[in-house]
Amino acid sequence: MSFRFRSSHQNVPQAVANFGIGTLAARVYAVLSYVTSLVLLFGAAVLTSTHAREAFIFVFLPGVLLAVLSRFIWTGSRSAMILAFAVSVALELMVVDNARESWGLFLALPVLFGMLAAVGLSAASPRTAAGAQPRVADEVYAAVVYFAGLFAVFMAPFNHSRNFGLPGVALYALLLGLVVGALSVFIWRGSIWAMVAAFALSLAHWIALANINPMLWGSVPNLAAPAVSGVLTAVCIALAVRANLRAKTAPVSFVSASE
């Protein structure tokens, strides 16, 4: 008498159909993200020759992010789909904040990205079909921390020389970028301690800058880093705890099979 594990009660034709739809959505999403990145990079270059040249960075960085994320979206990465949608929402919010009369021009971008992300997230992926549950929240958090470190390093010379008058102090951002980059690797692997450390680091960074310039205490962009980090840390810990509880309580079923 031998035993074998019971396979998941999944409708195979339906899973194949969902995977086909998900793959198509990922391909379209990736192409759209890449085309959008090209338009943004071109627009950033145009801004450098206008009176609004200081705003080019807010167009340049989203363009770079979408160009990088499009590669992972093409392969079906759910975390990349979520991050690209978040970038499109951030772009729309920046337009609303700086040019309210033009908010409708970019509204189609988060709408399309959101629809494609929803299709990609709802469709079955090869990793799920194989039985390995993707840690989407961990991957999103890791990517956010990784890009936040790059952004901090890039913006430090501007912030400390123009706003604080301390250009030499900006060198600390190099060490910050190394630490944050290392933490993102452990967060990707689901390490809770790295998530807590990233949140503590973002909170300490915000407090340090606010002590230099008290106006930053109420600055939404500067408060966004610890706020987002805190929310993602709480979500990832909650999901990890729930997964552990399910693993301990889930019964293992066997089906006898004749030799």
> In this predicted model, what pLDDT tens digit does every residue of 32-56 receive, in sequence order?
998 888 888 888 877 777 777 777 8
Kindly give, in sequence order, each residue whose CB lies less than 8 Å from that of residue 220, ignoring residues fewer than 6 positions away. none
Same domain, 99 and 207: no
Last residue of a domain, one of 100, 131, 162: 131
pLDDT for the residue numbered 169: 58
Last residue of a domain, one of 87, 105, 131: 131
Same domain, 139 and 119: no
- Domain extent, residue 225, equals 135-259
Same domain, 143 and 257: yes
Say what angle helices 12-47 and 57-74 make with each other, to 10 degrees.
Answer: 160
CA distances to 62, 107, 145, 196 from 47, rounded to whole Å, are 14, 21, 28, 39
Same domain, 120 and 142: no
**pTM of the full predicted structure?**
0.62
Same domain, 151 and 174: yes
Which among 141, 118, 122, 23 has a CA at the least distance from the CA of 73? 23
Same domain, 52 and 155: no
- % residues pLDDT > 70 (the chain): 76
pLDDT tier for residue 141 given thresholds of 50, 70 and 90: very high
pLDDT tier for residue 147 given thresholds of 50, 70 and 90: confident
pLDDT for the residue numbered 197: 95
Same domain, 142 and 68: no
For the chain, what is the domain count?
2
Report pLDDT digits (tens) over 203-247.
988 888 788 777 778 777 778 889 999 999 999 999 988 888 887
DSSP string, 148-207: HHHHHHHHHHHIIIIIIS-GGGGGHHHHHHHHHHHHHHHHHTT-HHHHHHHHHHHHHHHH
Same domain, 177 and 75: no
Lowest mean pLDDT among 53-67, 75-89, 160-174: 160-174
Same domain, 93 and 203: no
Same domain, 158 and 238: yes
Asked if residue 74 has pLDDT above 50, the reply is yes
Last residue of a domain, one of 87, 115, 131: 131
pLDDT tier for residue 12 given thresholds of 50, 70 and 90: very low
